[in-house]
Amino acid sequence: MNLTVIDHPLARHYLTILRDENTQPEAFRSAARSLTYALVLEATKALPVDEVDVTTPMEQTTGHRIHDVVAIAVLRAGLGMLDAVLDMIPGCKVGFAGVQRDESTATPMEYYAKLPDLANATVLVLEPMLATGGSLSWAVEKAKSSGAKDITALCVVTAPEGVARMGEEHEDVPIIAAALDRDLNDKWYIQPGLGDMGDRLFGTL
């Protein structure tokens, strides 16, 4: 399986806030940001670094710097994870992949895509809800067609159906998530899930 579910008390704490139907948008956005920090740490454990010389107040030593990281936010819910990525990787370039789900068929429909150069970059695709896998698979394919070779997906909650689809269509892409939930309902929403993340982030319920 290409899925890693992080196991950390703080991740479980913030995920619970996100799941709670009484959490209001301001607190929801804050919890999403805090949870994303944990996802980014796990996703970047093998991030390539360059050795550099650095002079401390005491002496010269060897340090390390990262380079060429791109975050692709899948609109619109992926925006709830983006600030945390930029907090931790300020030099990160940002791309956007606009896709919405046809509610009658659950198939993704593209409406916008703007990506920087991905050829030599480590790419983090931010897709909080991995339900059927259609949107994430489409975004990953978009990144690959733009030259990306090193791609990791960051998700908040996942469903077995979406994880299986990603394993079939993009087995080379690891998924870092806070939870693997039970299943999808008849409207393709994750159960127990946390509802519509975009609506809850931006108060458009």
How high is the pLDDT of residue 110?
A: 77
Instruction: Check residue 170 and report its DSSP letter.
Output: -
Q: Is there a domain that residue 60 lies in?
A: no
How high is the pLDDT of residue 105?
A: 65
Q: Is there a domain that residue 56 lies in?
A: no
How high is the pLDDT of residue 164?
A: 97
CATH code (residue 145): 3.40.50.2020
Q: Is there a domain that residue 22 lies in?
A: yes
Q: Which sign does the torsion angle of CA 20, 200, 155, 27 carry?
A: negative
At 10, which helix (H) or strand (E)?
Answer: helix 9-19
Is the Cβ–Cβ distance between 87 and 37 less than 8 Å? Answer: yes
In SS3 terms, 83-119 reads as HHHHHHCCCCEEEEEEEEECCCCCCEEEEEEECCCCC
Q: How many CB atoms lie within 10 A of CB 124?
A: 27
Interatomic CA distance for residues 154 and 130, integer angstroms: 9
How high is the pLDDT of residue 160?
A: 97
Average pLDDT by stretches of 10, the chain with 205 residues: 93 98 97 98 94 97 95 95 97 90 68 89 97 94 95 98 97 98 94 95 90
How high is the pLDDT of residue 81?
A: 98
Angle at 199 between CA 90 and CA 2, to 5 degrees: 60
How high is the pLDDT of residue 113?
A: 87
Interatomic CA distance for residues 117 and 198, integer angstroms: 27
Q: How far are the Cα atoms of 17, 62, 133, 151, 203 from residue 124, in angstroms, in the given order?
A: 24, 27, 16, 6, 26
Measured in degrees and rounded to the nearest 5, phi and psi for residue 97 equal -125, 110
In SS3 terms, 12-70 reads as HHHHHHHHCCCCCHHHHHHHHHHHHHHHHHHHCCCCCEEEEEEECCCCEEEEEEECCEE
Is the Cβ–Cβ distance between 54 and 63 less than 8 Å? Answer: yes
Is the Cβ–Cβ distance between 3 and 180 less than 8 Å? Answer: yes
Q: Is there a domain that residue 52 lies in?
A: no
Q: Is there a domain that residue 55 lies in?
A: no
Q: Is there a domain that residue 57 lies in?
A: no
Task: Tell me which residues are annotated as active site.
Answer: 101, 105, 196, 199
This prediction's pTM: 0.92
Query: Tens digit of pLDDT for each residue in 2-39?
Result: 999 999 999 999 999 999 999 999 999 999 999 999 99
| Total domain count, the chain | 1
Name the residue range of residue 14's domain.
3-46+67-202
